[in-house]
């Protein structure tokens, strides 16, 4: 039995919600996005209510330009 066949058998046993969660986890892993826990309430916006800027992306862009 191939690894693909083993995975397909495991997937057949999961609920739709479990499949969706696993799909998102795998998609993030394959696409290279880090797995992150959700931010605590209030951390997603600035004091003025604007969305918090992506500081990590800004740092990466800055480092890549050097």
pLDDT digits (tens, 9 = 90+) for 8-59: 999 999 999 999 998 888 887 777 666 677 878 888 889 998 988 988 899 9
Residue with the two structure tokens 């916006």:
45
pTM, 2 dp: 0.41
Q: Residue 35 has what pLDDT?
A: 66
Residue 63 CA to chain centroid, in angstroms?
Answer: 22
Cβ atoms of 52 and 45 closer than 8 Å: yes
């Amino acid at each position: 039995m191939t690894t693909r066949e083993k995975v397909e058998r495991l997937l057949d046993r999961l609920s739709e919600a479990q499949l969706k969660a696993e799909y998102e986890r795998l998609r993030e892993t394959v696409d290279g996005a880090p797995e992150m826990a959700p931010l605590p309430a209030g951390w997603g916006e600035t004091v003025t209510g604007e969305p918090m800027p992506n500081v990590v992306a800004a740092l990466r862009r800055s480092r890549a330009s050097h």
